[in-house]
Amino acid sequence: MIKLSWALVAEHVDEWTGDDIAQGADVLEARLGSVVDTSGMKPETVQHWRTTFLAPVVDSLRTEGSGSLARGESWSKAAGPLLACAAPIG
């Protein structure tokens, strides 16, 4: 099992627990994407936020995070106001 937690500074905190890190990455992307999409920001600002902050964290989770978790290690990544971390749980 894996516990994935994330925080968007002063806006949103959430977590997901499951077995498949790819599914966790999808959940992270969908949930935070929804928060940003409904934030009231202009569409171009939303797109910039997704590209600059969300995508690098999700991509890192899918690559480095997957490897770290497979070795039983934890993973974390921050980009701007976004912090995400994952750890195996017993």
pLDDT tens string 21-57: 999 999 999 999 999 999 899 999 999 999 999 999 9
Look at residue 4 and give its three-state secondary structure. Answer: strand
Interacting residues of 10 by C-beta distance below 8 A, sequence separation 6+? 81
pTM check: above 0.85: yes
d(CA 45, CA 6): 21
pLDDT tens string 62-90: 999 999 999 999 999 999 999 999 999 97
